[in-house]
Amino acid sequence: MSLVASGGLAAEPDRAELWRERLSSVVAVEFFTETELDRRPSQAFGTVIDEEGTIVFPSQAINSRVTPTQLKDFRVYLPGEPVTRHYPATHLGHDEYTGWEFIRVNDSAVRAKLVPVTRYPVAATPDIAEELWGIGLRKKDENFAPYHLSSRVSILQRLPQHTAVLANEVAGPNLPVFNRRGEFVGLGLGGFGATFMQFSSRDRNGLPVMMLNPDECAAVVLADELSPHFSRVPDNIYGRPLVWLGTNGLQPLDPEVANFLALEKQAGLVVSEVLTDSPAAAAGMQERDIILTLDDAPLPVLKPDRVLITWFQREVDLRRPGDTLRLGILRDGQRMQINARLADAPTTPREAPRRYFENLGLTIRSFTYADGVVRRVKPGAHGGVIAHFVKLNVPVSTAGLRLDDWIKEIDGTPVADFADAERLLAAIEADPVRSEFVLLVERGGDTAVLRIKLK
């Protein structure tokens, strides 16, 4: 596509032509979440990543409380086409490492219209002040009309991914960004806001307010971080396997502590908690251990310091259950190495069995390992169920049952597991003459008895 200028130098490709070509790499995604009471639509922006019509969009578009089986009717819209025209897609699942949801367009004729970003040359790391451009999409009521954005690179950082931060917005969230030659630079990264001061008659000193643009991004995760991982298509909708080490509450090493320990030039992570029955516990890791190396390499020095926590978790997520993680630690002034054999994570709340009792206005789900961690309950004491959904203005909510309450007894009968609770509540719901039942629940460490009046 390059042209030759009169002076013998290669002219830049025509931006309008590049724009038209690259529109085929972006889509709008819509899906519906079936809740206990309704069917809610959600939209996100997606980028085409392979010749099979696979599309990625940010997992943040999906409510973390819903299970993947509640996600229905995935649709793809091509930019600018009437929204009466949409194309079905299959949800492939979530990848923990990249933070992407993967879907695939069903119709081969539609897939042929799409151009994956992998067809374009990958750009080198952009220079400071280099101009980049990208694509934004309007909302559904404007037919997801595409529009052009451009800006210049202000700073390059590792957050922990290699990221370019620009002076102004350059693309929609997770939509591709290119350089002036049309080479693929990366994907828009949301979540970067600007802080303003709000003044009022009540607050004359000003109140800091973070303003966030949900539709456009001024940060770009660079292609060298992304391209190697476009092949991480999940094997199932839950994204299993989920790699598990079992450390909780990691904190970057405080600079004053680092100075005291003669670690001024060394990054480190302090372990706040080692989870029971985890690979970290089996390897002998202890609270207050300081992690200094991973697989014999020093932890990188990143700024701000908290970025190191995300870097470490991503390094764990990049591996698979059964892999061994070699960790160099500092304990009581002594350096040592431990070898942790990673495992598949325990069942997550999103995977846990659940059931909605329509006549009671209550959804229960199984008590999971994560519930025990939050409540600081050891695995041997796990039991009961969690109130996952409580309908408003029904007897259970009127009696005081709240979202995420831990139901431990039903009518005086201890609830050993989900099957126990399901059986007891099903009997209550099916009994036409029952006038009340009693729940023993725990919330925030306090126990309460709730008497639910059915009549």
Residue 190 is predicted with a pLDDT of 86
Host H or E run for residue 429: helix 418-430
Give the whole-angstrom CA distance, residue 117 versus residue 371.
Answer: 40
Tokens in use for 209? 């307010």
Q: Which amino acid appears at position 235 of this protein?
A: D
Host H or E run for residue 315: helix 307-317
Locate CATH 2.30.42.10 in the chain: 243-344, 354-453
| Residue corresponding to tokens 């404007």 | 142
Residue 380 is predicted with a pLDDT of 92
- The yes/no answer on whether domain 354-453 falls in CATH 2.30.42.10 is yes
Give the whole-angstrom CA distance, residue 205 versus residue 19.
Answer: 46
Q: Which amino acid appears at position 191 of this protein?
A: G
Looking at domain 243-344, its CATH architecture is Roll (2.30)
Higher pLDDT, 7 or 153: 153
Tokens in use for 98? 């990249």
Residue 310 is predicted with a pLDDT of 97
Indicate the length of the chain as a whole number: 455
| Residue corresponding to tokens 């949301």 | 190
> Residue 205: is it exposed, middle or buried by C-beta count within 10 angstroms (0-12/13-18/19+)?
exposed
Tokens in use for 282? 């089996």
Local structure of residue 213 (DSSP, 8 states): -
Rg (CA), the chain: 26
| Residue corresponding to tokens 């086409």 | 81
Tokens in use for 422? 């399901």
Q: Are 289 and 273 in contact (CB under 8 A)?
A: no
Give the whole-angstrom CA distance, residue 101 versus residue 98.
Answer: 9
Summarised one tens digit per residue, pLDDT across range 381-411 is 999 999 999 999 999 999 999 999 999 999 9
When pLDDT is cut at 50, 70 and 90, the band that residue 223 belongs to is very high
Q: What is the pTM of this model?
A: 0.92
Q: Can you identify the CATH homologous superfamily of domain 18-117?
A: Trypsin-like serine proteases (2.40.10.10)
State mean pLDDT over 264-284. 96
When pLDDT is cut at 50, 70 and 90, the band that residue 37 belongs to is very high
Residue 102's nearest CA partner among 44, 70, 56 is 56
Residue 3 is predicted with a pLDDT of 45
Going by DSSP bridges, is the β-strand pair 54-58/39-48 parallel, antiparallel, or unpaired?
antiparallel
Locate CATH 2.40.10.10 in the chain: 18-117
Give the whole-angstrom CA distance, residue 355 versus residue 396.
Answer: 15
Q: Are 349 and 418 in contact (CB under 8 A)?
A: no
Q: Which amino acid appears at position 441 of this protein?
A: V
Host H or E run for residue 426: helix 418-430
When pLDDT is cut at 50, 70 and 90, the band that residue 455 belongs to is confident
Residue 193 is predicted with a pLDDT of 67
Residue 100 is predicted with a pLDDT of 98
Summarised one tens digit per residue, pLDDT across range 140-149 is 999 999 999 9
Residue 390's nearest CA partner among 33, 67, 37 is 37
Residue 10 is predicted with a pLDDT of 61
Q: Are 440 and 423 in contact (CB under 8 A)?
A: no
When pLDDT is cut at 50, 70 and 90, the band that residue 191 belongs to is confident
Whether 161 has a pLDDT exceeding 50, the answer reads: yes
Residue 105 is predicted with a pLDDT of 98
Q: What are phi and psi for residue 413, nearest 5 degrees?
A: -100, 120
Percent above pLDDT 70 for the chain? 97
| Residue corresponding to tokens 């992304």 | 226
Number of helices and strands in the chain (H, E): 9, 33
When pLDDT is cut at 50, 70 and 90, the band that residue 5 belongs to is very low
Question: Which residues sit opposite 4 in a β-bridge?
Answer: 10
Give the whole-angstrom CA distance, residue 149 versus residue 22.
Answer: 13
**Average predicted confidence (pLDDT) for the chain:** 94
Residue 121's nearest CA partner among 33, 209, 182 is 182
Alpha-carbon distance values, 298 to 186, 195, 294 (Å): 28, 34, 6
Tokens in use for 106? 């069903």
Torsion sign (Cα): 113, 117, 118, 119: positive
Q: What are phi and psi for residue 447, nearest 5 degrees?
A: -105, 140
State mean pLDDT over 45-66. 97
Residues with Cβ within 8 Å of residue 289, at least 6 apart in sequence: 270, 271, 329, 330, 331
Give the three-state DSSP class for 121: coil
Residue 315's nearest CA partner among 333, 332, 297, 303 is 297
Buried b or exposed e, range 104-140, using 16+ CB within 10 angstroms:
bbeeeebbeebbbbbebeebeebeeeeebbbbbbbee
Torsion sign (Cα): 230, 278, 367, 347: positive
State mean pLDDT over 281-297. 97
Tokens in use for 420? 């126990």
Tokens in use for 362? 């209550």
